[in-house]
Structure 1
Amino acid sequence: MKYVFGSIITLLLLIVVLYYTLGMWGVELPITSNDLGKIVITGFILLVTIVLLKVLLPFFFGNARRKHYDLDKGNVAKPKL
């Protein structure tokens, strides 16, 4: 998961740096600064969506694979049969 976050953030930073670097050199780009802002906002919306899905989905589907332990057997965790 951290690689996905790192990849998206790195990609957004590289796009912004590339845009402004090419702008300093006078290269005409087919996108404007408004388009660049929309790209960055879309990237952050994507990150927030990933975080929300990662947090909320285990609440709905996480109990099926959850191990249950018998607490009456002492200090050593023993799975319920």
Structure 2
Amino acid sequence: MASVMGLLEVREAAARVRAEELRAEADRVLAELGEAEAVLERRVIARVELAEAQAAPVEAGDAPVVGSREVAVRGPLGG
């Protein structure tokens, strides 16, 4: 018959393994969360930039330049 101390040591070892597995999973999830937050931040910045560009009045000197030619801007895109 196994001793009580031996049974406790087996349970402790199993708990240690489980804790290590969960630490590894937490590290993976945190890395994935960081990537998702970076994507979200880029999307928010893009939306804010677009809203600002659409709200800004177009002046003669603000026409975008493509190559060496200016491109006429008639109004906000996507209404």
Which of 1 and 2 has greater Rg?
2
Higher RCO by CA contacts (8 Å cutoff, separation 6 or greater)? 1
Structure 2 length normalisation: TM-score?
A: 0.41
Structure 1 length normalisation: TM-score?
A: 0.40
